[in-house]
Amino acid sequence: MSAAPAAEPSRDCPACPRLVAFREEQRAARPAWWNAPVPSFGPQAPRLLIVGLAPGLQGANRTGRPFTGDWAGDLLYATLLKFGFADGVYDERPDDGLTLVGARITNAVRCVPPQNKPTGPEIATCRPYLESELAALGERSAVVALGRIAHDSVCRALSLRLAAAPFGHGARHPAGALTLFDSYHCSRYNTNTGVLTTEMFEAVFRDVREHLG
């Protein structure tokens, strides 16, 4: 795999009209917020890439850093700190000094979608940025897909047949030099309803840590 830097969309990316219109609404209503495509967070050429769905309206769309400022980030960053993929203190702010160690976080869709639901064409339009992130991974790497949409987009970016790599919490799928690990998304809905527990989430990252050594 290449170690070329991953590509990032421009702040005013015009690719998805519906997302552009929603972004402009948010800029008018909340001018102090980030309100732009959210860049990936973490070092280039990591051994672990974590792929979420899209920025949360009051999380990453507000703060400009993936999974920062909402419940999903509380669980994700606590888990990364526990397993040595992060260093510092997560304080729900992009200037909290937290750093990632050999890990990087991105989203399948970089702009916040209405109702947190990107469309199929929007996911496909944003996929080249995900492909760029995957191409920049280091050797013998891992990807954690948070939820089915992220899983499906990663599979398509890797040219994996979905039928041959079905999504399932705790599943792993070899793909050449990397291994794809699946987890339910660490959203408040999933944790509040018991679909995902802290123990279930940590088990995925424990497997990843053991896999990477």
The SS3 of residue 87 is strand
Check if the beta carbon of residue 163 is closer than 8 Å to that of residue 70.
no
Residues 6+ apart with CB under 8 A from 6: 40, 44, 106, 129, 132, 133, 135, 136
Checking if the pLDDT of 158 tops 90, the result is yes
Checking if the pLDDT of 4 tops 80, the result is no
- For position 2, what pLDDT does the model report? 44
Residue 108 has which token pair? 């399948």
- For position 122, what pLDDT does the model report? 98
Checking if the pLDDT of 195 tops 70, the result is yes
Checking if the pLDDT of 1 tops 90, the result is no
Check: pTM over 0.85? Answer yes or no: yes
Checking if the pLDDT of 211 tops 90, the result is yes
Checking if the pLDDT of 185 tops 90, the result is yes
The SS3 of residue 167 is coil
Q: At what angle do helices 71-82 and 198-212 cross, to 10 degrees?
A: 40
- For position 65, what pLDDT does the model report? 98
Residue 145 has which token pair? 């897909």
Q: pLDDT band for position 3 (50/70/90)?
A: low
Residue 42 has which token pair? 């973490």
Per cent of the chain over pLDDT 70 is 99
**What would you report as the CA-atom Rg of the chain, rounded to the nearest whole angstrom?**
16
pLDDT in tens, 75-117: 999 999 999 999 999 999 999 999 999 999 999 999 999 999 9
DSSP 17-69: HHHHHHHHHHHHH-TTS--SPPPPBS-SS-SEEEEESS--TTTHHHHSSTT-S
Residue 34 has which token pair? 């980030």
* Rounded Cα distance, 65 and 151, in Å: 21
Which domains, ranges and CATH numbers included, belong to the chain? 17-212 (3.40.470.10)
pLDDT in tens, 17-62: 999 999 999 999 999 999 999 999 999 999 999 999 999 999 999 9
Mean pLDDT of 117-132: 98
